[in-house]
C-alpha cells in the first residue's frame, strides 16, 4: 500500500496481480498504489522538498541519525520481516540488513559535506580578481525502484545520500519484500517533514508509472530487461538515471594462492544470502594444476554446510521465491546436460525454496551457469591453463560488475586487475566494497552504467552549479572591439606559452594598451 510521509497507510487499492509462479510463493499481502495515489505522493514530495533542502546539512543529518538509531533499536522486527518475506536467516540479516543504517548515515554525512560546495583555483594571471566554486544542488524528487535481495541494506546507498543532499524520495520496493523496505522508510518518515520519505507499493507497472510521474531522477536496480526499459524511458523524459542490472562475478584462482583462505573466501562470497547478490561469485576460473585439489577442498567444505529454514544452526538459507528457485534448477540442469560434473548439491532441500549448495566442475562457456546470472547457491568451476585465459573469459562475458584474483603474488595480481574490464576488482577478497559508502560500486556492459556509493554517485541526486565571481575593475582583454591590439596581445600570449622570453616581457604593456583601447571604444 502507499505510505505517506507521516507514516500513515493510505486506503488499500486493488491487489497486485501475480504470475502463477509467484502465487506459489509465501507472498506477503500488499496492495498496489493507484495512479492517483502515486501522483499524489510525487506531488506532495515536490511541495515539501524546497523547505527540506533549505535546512542546513547538519540538521538533515541529525534527523536521519535519529531515525537510524531507532532502526537499530527496532531491529528484531526487521529480522522477522525479512525472514517472513524472503527466508533469510535472522543472524544473517542482523549483519547484512540491520547493523548498517547508522554507519551509512554518518559516512554519507561526511561525503555530502565534502561535496556540497568546493572552491576552484583559478590562474590569477589569466583570470585576475576572479574566484569560482561548484555547488551541488539537489535535483528535487528522486524515484527509486529497488530489488528484493537486500530489502534494507540495498537502500542505504541511494535513499540516504538522496535525503542528505536535500531531495525528497519516493521509493517503489520490490513486490517480494514490501514490508521490509517500508519498515526502513517509515523510520525516516517519522522524523522528516511530511512527504519527504514516501513508499509506493506495487509491481513493475507501478515502477513504470513512477518513472512517468514527473520525478527528477531515477535509481533502478534489477534485471537487464527491466533496467533497459527504464533507462530508455528516462532518456526520453530527459531525466538522469542510475541503472544497475546485475552481475556474474568471477574469481580467478591462481596456482600459488593460499588455498585455505581462498576456499573460505569463495565459499562465503558464493553462498552468502543464498547466492542472491549481484556481487556473488558465480564462476571460478581455476588454474588446472590446482583444480583437483581446489574442487576437493570446496566439496569437503560445502558438504558440511547446513541448509534450510532454520536460523543460528544453519548457514545457507532458502531462496527467496519460486521464480528464483526455477532459474537455479534450470541452470544446473543445463550444465549437466552439456557435460558439467556435479560435485555436490544439485537438488532441493526441505520445504519451501531451499536448494543445496551446488558445486559444478568442468563447466564451459556454452552453459547458462557460466553465461547468465544464476542468483543462487551455485558455483561453476571452469578450468584454465593460466591467468590470461581467465582474464579473456571475464572480459568477454555479458556482465562486468566485479571480479577477484586469489594469489600470494599481489604485485602480479595488481597488473592483472588493470586488464579486467569490470567496475570492481578485488585481490584475495570479494564484493565487500558494496557496503562501503566511500568507494564507487559500478560495472560495465550489461551490468549498466550507473554508479552507487562515493562522491561520484552524487550526480544521481544533485546537479553541479558553477558560481563565478569577478571583482576586477579593468575590462577583460578579450572584450570587443576585435582589432590589432587584440591580435598583438594574442601573439604575445602564444610566445609566452612557448617559453619565448620576449613574449612574456611584452605582455604587461600590451595588456594595458588593450584595456585602454576597450575603455576608449565604449566611452565614445
Question: What is the DSSP track for 192-210?
Answer: SPTTSEEE---SHHHHHHH
Q: If we measure between CA atoms, which residue out of 460, 441, 420 comes closest to residue 141?
A: 460
278 in active site? yes
Q: If we measure between CA atoms, which residue out of 21, 122, 160 comes closest to residue 453?
A: 160
Q: If we measure between CA atoms, which residue out of 213, 208, 248 comes closest to residue 229?
A: 208
Q: Which residues pair with 424 in a beta bridge?
A: 402
363 in active site? no
Our CA angle for 134, 139, 144, nearest 5°, is 130
3-state secondary structure of 35: helix
Pull the grid cell for residue 456: 561520484
d(CA 81, CA 96): 14
Which one is catalytic: 85, 97, 175, 244?
244
Residues 65-82: b if buried by 16+ CB within 10 A, e if exposed? bbbbebbeeebeebbebb
Pull the grid cell for residue 242: 542510475
3-state secondary structure of 241: strand
Question: What is the DSSP track for 462-486?
Answer: EEEEEEEEE--SSPPTTPSP-SHHH
d(CA 87, CA 336): 28
Pull the grid cell for residue 140: 528535487
- The tally of CA atoms less than 13 A away on the side-chain side of residue 155 is 33
d(CA 318, CA 312): 14
Pairing between β-strand 117-120 and β-strand 130-138 as defined by DSSP bridges: antiparallel
d(CA 145, CA 472): 49
Which one is catalytic: 278, 344, 363, 462?
278
439 contacts: CB under 8 Å, gap ≥ 6: 433, 453, 454
Query: Is the separation of the CB atoms in 451 and 113 below 8 Å?
Result: no
Cα torsion 393, 399, 405, 406: sign:
negative
d(CA 83, CA 78): 9
Which active-site residues does the annotation give? 244, 278
Amino acid at each position: 500500500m502507499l505510505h505517506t510521509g507521516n507514516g500513515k497507510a493510505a486506503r488499500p487499492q486493488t491487489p497486485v496481480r501475480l504470475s502463477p509462479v509467484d502465487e506459489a510463493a509465501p507472498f506477503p499481502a500488499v496492495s498496489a498504489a493507484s495512479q492517483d495515489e502515486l501522483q499524489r505522493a510525487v506531488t506532495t514530495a515536490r511541495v515539501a522538498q524546497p523547505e527540506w533542502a533549505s535546512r542546513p546539512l547538519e540538521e538533515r543529518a541529525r534527523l536521519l541519525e535519529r531515525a537510524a538509531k531507532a532502526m537499530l533499536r527496532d531491529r528484531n522486527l526487521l529480522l522477522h520481516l525479512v525472514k517472513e518475506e524472503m527466508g533469510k536467516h535472522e543472524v544473517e540479516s542482523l549483519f547484512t540488513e540491520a547493523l548498517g543504517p547508522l554507519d551509512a548515515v554518518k559516512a554519507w554525512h561526511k561525503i555530502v559535506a565534502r561535496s556540497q560546495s568546493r572552491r576552484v583555483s583559478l590562474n590569477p594571471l589569466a583570470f585576475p580578481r576572479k574566484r569560482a566554486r561548484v555547488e551541488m544542488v539537489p535535483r528535487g524528487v528522486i524515484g527509486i525502484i529497488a530489488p528484493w535481495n537486500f530489502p534494507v541494506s540495498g537502500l542505504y546507498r541511494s535513499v540516504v545520500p538522496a535525503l542528505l543532499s536535500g531531495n525528497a524520495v519516493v521509493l517503489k520496493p520490490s513486490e517480494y519484500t514490501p514490508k521490509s523496505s517500508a519498515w526502513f522508510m517509515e523510520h525516516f518518515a517519522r522524523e522528516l517533514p511530511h512527504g519527504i520519505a514516501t513508499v509506493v507499493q506495487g509491481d513493475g507497472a507501478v515502477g513504470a508509472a513512477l518513472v512517468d510521474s514527473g520525478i527528477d531522477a531515477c535509481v533502478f536496480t534489477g534485471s537487464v530487461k527491466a533496467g533497459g526499459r527504464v533507462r530508455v524511458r528516462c532518456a526520453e523524459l530527459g531525466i538522469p538515471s542510475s541503472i544497475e542490472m546485475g552481475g556474474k562475478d568471477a574469481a580467478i584462482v591462481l596456482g600459488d594462492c593460499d588455498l585455505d583462505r581462498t576456499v573460505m573466501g569463495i565459499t562465503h562470497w558464493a553462498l552468502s544470502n543464498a547466492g542472491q547478490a549481484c556481487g556473488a561469485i558465480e564462476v571460478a576460473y581455476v588454474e588446472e594444476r590446482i583444480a583437483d585439489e581446489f574442487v576437493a577442498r570446496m566439496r569437503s567444505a560445502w558438504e558440511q554446510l547446513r541448509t534450510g529454514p532454520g536460523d543460528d544452526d544453519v548457514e545457507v538459507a532458502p531462496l527467496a521465491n519460486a521464480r528464483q528457485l526455477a532459474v537455479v534448477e534450470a541452470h544446473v540442469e543445463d550444465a549437466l546436460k552439456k557435460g558439467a560434473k556435479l560435485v555436490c548439491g544439485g537438488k532441493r532441500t526441505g520445504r519451501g525454496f531451499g536448494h543445496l549448495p551446488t558445486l559444478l566442475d568442468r563447466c564451459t562457456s556454452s552453459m547458462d551457469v557460466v553465461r547468465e546470472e544464476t542468483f543462487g547457491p551455485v558455483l561453476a568451476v571452469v578450468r584454465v591453463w593460466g591467468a590470461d585465459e581467465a582474464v579473456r573469459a571475464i572480459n568477454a562475458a555479458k556482465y562486468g560488475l566485479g571480479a577477484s584474483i586469489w594469489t600470494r603474488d599481489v604485485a602480479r595480481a595488481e597488473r592483472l586487475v588493470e586488464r579486467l574490464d569490470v567496475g570492481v576488482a578485488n585481490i584475495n577478497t570479494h564484493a565487500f566494497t558494496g557496503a562501503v559508502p566511500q568507494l564507487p560500486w559500478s560495472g560495465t556492459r550489461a551490468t549498466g552504467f550507473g554508479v552507487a556509493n562515493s562522491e561520484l554517485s552524487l550526480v544521481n541526486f544533485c546537479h553541479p552549479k558553477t558560481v563565478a565571481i569577478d571583482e576586477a575593475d579593468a575590462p577583460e582583454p578579450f572584450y570587443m572591439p576585435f582589432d590589432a591590439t587584440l591580435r598583438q596581445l594574442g601573439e604575445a600570449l602564444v610566445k609566452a606559452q612557448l617559453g619565448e622570453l620576449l613574449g612574456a616581457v611584452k605582455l604587461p604593456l600590451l595588456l594595458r594598451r588593450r584595456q585602454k583601447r576597450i575603455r576608449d571604444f565604449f566611452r565614445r
